[in-house]
Amino acid sequence: MKQNTLTNLAIIMDGNGRWAKERSLARSAGHEKGAEVIREITHYCANHDTIKTLTLYAFSTENWKRPKLEVDFLMKLLEKYLQNELETYHRFGVRFETIGDLSRFSSKLQKQIDATKNETKNYTKLAQILALNYGARDEIVRAVKKLIEQNKEISEDSISEALDTPYSDIDLLIRTSGEKRISNFLLWQTSYSELFFTPTLWPDFTSLELESIIEKYHAVTRKFGGL
């Protein structure tokens, strides 16, 4: 049986808050630990034979509804993450990219995001794509509006090209923490993705578990609506 190729991987990183609560820690401790796990998973994907993109759900359009104190912490954590991980991107040959509407972020954070993209733009081992202020419905609406403004025909191909993601559809979508929903993440791009849900909270997720999930993915027969 022909093995499925895994090119585009996406992960909903869920469970930081519950991980912290189980340890009687502040939610911020869970977010900090989760940021560390991103490095391990990115390293694994950069060294994988076929994975070319790793898309991570980092901050959704709905996350603004969280308490201001937590949102402010997440913004500072993102700044710190980009500062700390630049060396990682250089070492692993990873290109940093984003999807989502960045206009709501501070000008300082937007400049830092742009600078990180520019410094890593020539790397080809892996594209790590952070979904920031991202919602799939918002992405689709923005794509359609863009096509209307450009007086272009509305079709599946034109919408795909107008979306934030400049890559092919997602092959494998993983969600941690035991929740079994997509939560407005890459709705268009995951129409035929294989979905895997693990009870492991994101701060406890490891490259070994990822490798196990990938092995299961390879064993699946992907039909794409056919027989």
Q: Which candidate in 14, 16, 164, 171 is catalytic?
A: 14
| Helix or strand holding residue 57 (H, E) | strand 53-60
CA-wise closest residue to 91 among 43, 161, 131: 43
63 is catalytic: yes
Q: Which candidate in 4, 63, 169, 184 is catalytic?
A: 63
Torsion of CA 197, 223, 169, 38, to 10 degrees: 30
Residue 151 gets the label, from left (phi > 0), alpha (psi -120 to 50) or beta, of: left
Give CA separation, 160 vs 105, 142, 157, in Å: 25, 12, 5
Give CA separation, 172 vs 7, 51, 204, 219, in Å: 9, 10, 20, 13
User: What gap in Å lies between CA 127 and CA 74, rounded to an integer?
Assistant: 22
> Locate tokens 């937007």: which residue?
110
133 is catalytic: no
* Residue numbers annotated as active site: 14, 63
